[in-house]
Amino acid sequence: MQELSHFIDGKLVKGQSGRFADVFNPATGEVQAKVPLASNDEMAAAIASASQAQVAWGATNPQKRGRVMMNMVNLLNRDMDKLAEALSREHGKTIPDAKGDVQRGLEVFEFCIGAPHLLKGEFTESAGPGIDMYSMRQPLGVVSGITPFNFPAMVPMWKMAPALASGNAFILKPSERAPSVPLMLAELMKEAGLPDGVLQVMNGDKEAVDAILDNETIQAIGFVGSTPIAQYIYSRGCANGKRVQCFGGAKNHMIIMPDADLDQAADALIGAGYGAAGERCMAISVAVPVGDETADRLIEKLVPRIEKLKVGPYTAGDDIDYGPVVTGAAKANIERLVQAGVDQGAKLVVDGRGFKMQGYENGFFVGPHLFDHVTTDMDIYTTEIFGPVLSTVRAQTYEEALALAMDHEYGNGTAIFTRDGDTARDFASRINIGMVGINVPIPVPLAYHTFGGWKKSGFGDLNQHGPDAFRFYTRTKTVTSRWPSGLKEGGEFHFKAME
Residues near ligand NAD, by CB under 6 A: 146-151, 155, 173, 175-176, 205-206, 209, 224-226, 229, 247-250, 281, 384, 386, 412, 453, 457
Q: Per-residue b/e over 131-144, b at no fewer than 16 CB within 10 Å? A: bbbeeebebbbbbb
Type of residue at 233: I
Q: Closest approach of Cβ 284 to ligand NAD, in Å? A: 13
Q: Closest approach of Cβ 452 to ligand NAD, in Å? A: 7
Q: Closest approach of Cβ 290 to ligand NAD, in Å? A: 26
In the complex with ligand NAD, which residue's Cβ is closer, 226 or 240? 226
For residue 135, list its beta bridge partners: 122, 478
Q: Has 281 been annotated as catalytic?
A: yes
- 408-274-369 Cα angle (round to 5): 80
For 60, 251, 343, 393, the CA distances from 404, given in Å and listed in that order, are 50, 11, 22, 9
How far is residue 252's CA from residue 437's CA, in Å, rounded to a whole number?
11
In the complex with ligand NAD, which residue's Cβ is closer, 7 or 57? 7
Q: Closest approach of Cβ 228 to ligand NAD, in Å? A: 7
SS3 465: coil
| 8 Å CB contact between 366 and 331 | yes
Name the phi and psi angles at 419, rounded to 5: -100, 0
In the complex with ligand NAD, which residue's Cβ is closer, 57 or 459? 459
How far is residue 477's CA from residue 122's CA, in Å, rounded to a whole number?
10
Q: Closest approach of Cβ 224 to ligand NAD, in Å? A: 5
How far is residue 117's CA from residue 268's CA, in Å, rounded to a whole number?
37
How far is residue 295's CA from residue 395's CA, in Å, rounded to a whole number?
9
In the complex with ligand NAD, which residue's Cβ is closer, 42 or 384? 384
Nearest of 373, 420, 8 to residue 202 by alpha carbon: 8
In the complex with ligand NAD, which residue's Cβ is closer, 115 or 212? 212
List 112, 238, 246, 281, catalytic entry: 281
How far is residue 263's CA from residue 37's CA, in Å, rounded to a whole number?
48
Name the phi and psi angles at 403, rounded to 5: -65, -35
| 8 Å CB contact between 422 and 444 | no
For 36, 91, 183, 248, 358, the CA distances from 3, given in Å and listed in that order, are 8, 17, 13, 30, 30
In the complex with ligand NAD, which residue's Cβ is closer, 150 or 294? 150
SS3 289: strand
Q: What is the CA radius of gyration of the chain?
A: 25
Q: Closest approach of Cβ 148 to ligand NAD, in Å? A: 3
In the complex with ligand NAD, which residue's Cβ is closer, 261 or 379? 379
Q: Closest approach of Cβ 410 to ligand NAD, in Å? A: 9
How far is residue 82's CA from residue 117's CA, in Å, rounded to a whole number?
32
Residue nearest to ligand NAD (CB): 225
In the complex with ligand NAD, which residue's Cβ is closer, 208 or 295? 208
How far is residue 68's CA from residue 86's CA, in Å, rounded to a whole number?
24
Q: Closest approach of Cβ 221 to ligand NAD, in Å? A: 11
Catalytic residue ranges = 281
